[in-house]
A = this chain, B = another copy of it.
């Protein structure tokens, strides 16, 4: 359905592990490092495909679990596949649903066969296996599909992580066998929690099977940002140089810039879109909460240095008004600004690598960026009440279910 896939490293930064690359697919190429906006239900919330194109995004992520539940992958297939269904002519990547069935669905049971769970929409009893995930992803027809993995939250007891590593390799082999002949690129996922030895085991087993690209999974699943980054620092070098490396579901601006320096090529996160709907906007200095009283009369744009259409036309005062009035346009404009911010950040990161100056870019970013830890409100929206409750309980830790789909 999708056809030719390739990846080429174009430049390597002399002082960091950052690299510039290009992924080629039947739906166009993706300059890496790249951020993929999350289009959970076949739409990046509030945005049209035209807008995402105008922001220069070259690949979106869509969620297999959500689309299989609604509208159902057979509907999508009959309508010509996900690209056509959602009116997006550029590249698509679908996740495997593994993360969602473990985090969103209720009453799940995990065995070596697969996961049985209840739909978060209507409570019906369903199951997901590597074969079923590949069948769904093949019907959706994304350019890149992900192997079905077992992704436990952190912290988890070591035996649970050992089991997840073993099962992820087992499922990776079954995923590869099941997808054969679809013409789609398949990425394997490395698990191993925050245990360096288990990460090594998983990386070795997954790369031994052999995939078109490799993802670091099992991060941003409950642990601190510092711990996530430490896991990536250990895992990225274990992955083949000549294949794209995709860091799953982790994505504050600082995460992106830091993880590019460790050699990651692809990113996704709901943060820019979800934060936008919650009134939290990104600037080079950090986050700005548009609801604050001090903005009631503020004629300035969100970020005076920003070239986005929102900053060109609307004041903080107007954006605050729209937010307080619960207007749809608030979510739209905030999302447009945040995605523009992410796109521009990645564009600058790529230019810095091209120029062989990524270390300078990184230190300039660090000197400007100050970010409070995410507040619980930043991360909650939709069916993740459990994670939200945990957050409200006190510790500033990441949600498990919150950042991969919305």
A86 at interface by CB-CB < 8 Å: yes
Are A43 and B75 in contact, CB atoms less than 8 angstroms apart?
no
Q: Which residue of B lies closest to A47 (CB)?
A: B329
Digit string of A308-326 for contact with B (CB within 8 Å is 1, else 0)? Answer: 0100011101101110110
Q: How far is the CB of A49 from chain B (nearest CB, A)?
A: 7
Chain B CB count within 10 A is highest, among A71, A317, A321, for A321
Q: Which of B78, B318, B320 contacts A86 (CB 8 A)?
A: B318
Q: Which residue of B lies closest to A121 (CB)?
A: B325
Q: CA of A48 to CA of B314 in the docked complex: distance in angstroms? A: 11
Q: How far is the CB of A166 from chain B (nearest CB, A)?
A: 36
Are B318 and A85 in contact, CB atoms less than 8 angstroms apart?
yes
Are B329 and A71 in contact, CB atoms less than 8 angstroms apart?
no
Given contacts A71-B321, A325-B41, A332-B328, whether A297 and B78 have CB atoms under 8 Å apart is: yes
Q: Which residue of B lies closest to A330 (CB)?
A: B43
A132 at interface by CB-CB < 8 Å: no
Q: Which residue of B lies closest to A69 (CB)?
A: B325
Are A318 and B87 in contact, CB atoms less than 8 angstroms apart?
yes
Are B49 and A321 in contact, CB atoms less than 8 angstroms apart?
no
A384 at interface by CB-CB < 8 Å: no
Q: How large is the interface on A (under 10, 10 to 19, 20 to 34, 35 or more residues)?
A: 35 or more
Are A41 and B85 in contact, CB atoms less than 8 angstroms apart?
no
Are A71 and B328 in contact, CB atoms less than 8 angstroms apart?
no
Q: CA of A319 to CA of B42 in the docked complex: distance in angstroms? A: 11
Q: CA of A297 to CA of B85 in the docked complex: distance in angstroms? A: 11
Given contacts A313-B87, A315-B79, A317-B85, whether A46 and B328 have CB atoms under 8 Å apart is: yes
Q: How far is the CB of A310 from chain B (nearest CB, A)?
A: 9
Q: Which of B75, B315, B324, B329 contacts A317 (CB 8 A)?
A: B75
A327 at interface by CB-CB < 8 Å: yes
Are B85 and A327 in contact, CB atoms less than 8 angstroms apart?
no
Are B45 and A327 in contact, CB atoms less than 8 angstroms apart?
yes
A203 at interface by CB-CB < 8 Å: no
Digit string of A322-349 for contact with B (CB within 8 Å is 1, else 0)? Answer: 1011011101110000000000000000
A28 at interface by CB-CB < 8 Å: no
Q: CA of A333 to CA of B327 in the docked complex: distance in angstroms? A: 16
Name the B residues within 8 Å of A321 (CB-CB).
41-42, 70-71, 75, 85
Contacts A48-B329, A85-B321 known; 13 new A-B pairs at CB < 8 A: A41-B321, A42-B322, A43-B327, A45-B328, A46-B332, A48-B333, A70-B321, A70-B325, A71-B296, A71-B317, A71-B321, A85-B315, A328-B332
Report which A residues bind B (CB closer than 8 A): 41-43, 45-50, 70-71, 75, 78-80, 85-87, 296-297, 299, 309, 313-315, 317-318, 320-322, 324-325, 327-329, 331-333
Return the 5 tightest CB-CB contacts between A and B, nearest first: A46-B328, A87-B313, A71-B321, A43-B329, A41-B325
6 inter-chain pairs at a CB distance below 8 angstroms, sorted by A residue, are: A45-B328, A48-B329, A70-B324, A70-B325, A78-B297, A79-B315
